Amino acid sequence: MAKPCGFEFWRSTLKGARYVVAPMVEQSELAWRLLSRRHGAELCYTPMLHAQVFVRDANYRRENLYNEVHQEDRPLITQFCANDPEVFIQAAVLAQDYCDAIDLNLGCPQMIAKRGHYGVFLQDEWDLLEKMKIEKTVKYAKMLENAGCQLLTVHGRTKDQKGALTGIASWKHIKAVREAVSIPVFANGNIQYLSDVQRCMEETGVQGVMSAEGNLHNPALFEGRSPPVWEMAEEYLEVVEKHPPCSLSYVRAHIFKLWHHTLQIHQDLREELAKAKNVAGIAEVNRQLKQRCQEEMAKDESEWTRTGLPLPHWICQPYVRPPPKDPNTENGQKTSETKAVSVKRALEDSDGPNDSLSKNKQKKARNPHKNFCPELKPKYIKCEQCGNPKGNKCVFNLCRGCCKRKAFKEVADCPGHGLKFKTKALNSDTGGGLTNGNPNIQTVSTAAHGPL
């Protein structure tokens, strides 16, 4: 039987999903996906997985996908980063029985993606991209459609819009892509409330809307609710206990996000949360935060409305990134005219006007004796398993992630990465302890809107 394609794929396989939880590294794990689905999410993605490691390492497959199969966690899309067509296909075949579609990440702008040569940086090499699935904004999207892509997510930002420079996503470009292709399109960007979801769908004509940060700060976003933070935190911790194992670092990161605004006030509990050594410890911090907030609720309203937030700080609500700092200010104050002139003069002493120089040329002007030639720069040594930069002093010639798995499996030490599994095992003899505790593939793509 022929597999469904395009809109039929979206309607039948993905159940016509409109409300989508984004793929988030170390944040869209099974427990968080189940919580989000309870509160309105209709489709979830796995965290981004490294295709090469997924193919090579059975433990990686088991820890990141195979052990997380749950009947309530469907439909589910597995996302890979990859830069080799054959490896991508091999990874997809290994994952196809555990999800409903495979996603190729073409949108990650982070430095790790640049070093590994995947994500948004594949946009610069269309020949390679064409071999993998195969288009600048609309043309780029149409190329992906022609290559067999069945669904496209558009982030509406360039690869330079990240961190403090994230800024506002361009819905105009998302709309242009939607009108140019004949496959379903999801939009991502500027989603903080359910009203944003509805407005985005109306303005762009997309089939669904994906949320990342909005979902992390309010997993009930797609329900149109802003519940007390402790309600979501308690429910999440309950799901974590019910569906182990879940990395403690993931759990802690979620609680930090949920309590973000309150932790700006109760700094002492921020420290306690960072030090918590197990889920019970995190639950205790959550209990104390809840108690303090309920005590505040009993006080005069003027006492807890000075935060400048639209809602009380203990209510789930978006985190709005502060704008980047003005380089000509210090602590909100203008720098002295003399200092500004000296900086400007230093740049003007270079080959041309400051406004016409790129950042790289400005660096060269400030450092005339430094070597900026890529060919002469020392190449970083790659991890023997995944291709990411290896630790300089790693005894296995691996990156930290691969080294940790190998050292754990072989009960070995790596002083370079500070891993002491062998030492702990030896100590266990005296009272310590060591617990060891393709024809059917649908493809979708997650991409930024390209070089606008």
User: Residue 332: is its pLDDT beyond 60?
Assistant: no
Confidence of residue 377 (pLDDT cuts 50, 70, 90): low
User: Residue 353: is its pLDDT beyond 70?
Assistant: no
* Burial class of residue 441, CB neighbours in 10 A (0-12, 13-18, 19+): middle
pLDDT for 376 equals: 56
Percentage of residues in the chain having pLDDT higher than 70: 72
Between 121 and 323, residue with greater pLDDT: 323
Complete DSSP assignment for 148-188: T---EEE--S-TT--GGG-----HHHHHHHHHH-SS-EEEE
Helix (H, G, I), strand (E, B) or coil at 250: helix
pTM score of the predicted model? 0.71
Average pLDDT on 163-173 reads 73
CA-CA-CA-CA torsion sign (65, 69, 73, 74): positive
Spatial separation of the C-alpha atoms in residues 275 and 281, rounded to whole Å: 9
pLDDT for 392 equals: 84
Average pLDDT on 167-192 reads 91
What proportions of the chain, in percent to the nearest 5, are helix, strand and coil? Answer: 50, 10, 40
Active site residue 108: yes
Do 98 and 66 form a contact (C-beta atoms < 8 A)? yes
Average pLDDT on 352-371 reads 62
Which pLDDT tens digit goes with each residue over 437-446? 344 566 777 6
Among the residue ranges 307-316, 419-428, 432-441, the one predicted with the least confidence is: 432-441
Instruction: Calculate the average pLDDT of the chain.
Output: 82
Which residue of the set 44, 81, 99, 108 is catalytic? Answer: 108
pLDDT for 391 equals: 86
Among the residue ranges 55-59, 342-346, 419-423, the one predicted with the least confidence is: 342-346
Confidence of residue 340 (pLDDT cuts 50, 70, 90): very low
Confidence of residue 359 (pLDDT cuts 50, 70, 90): low
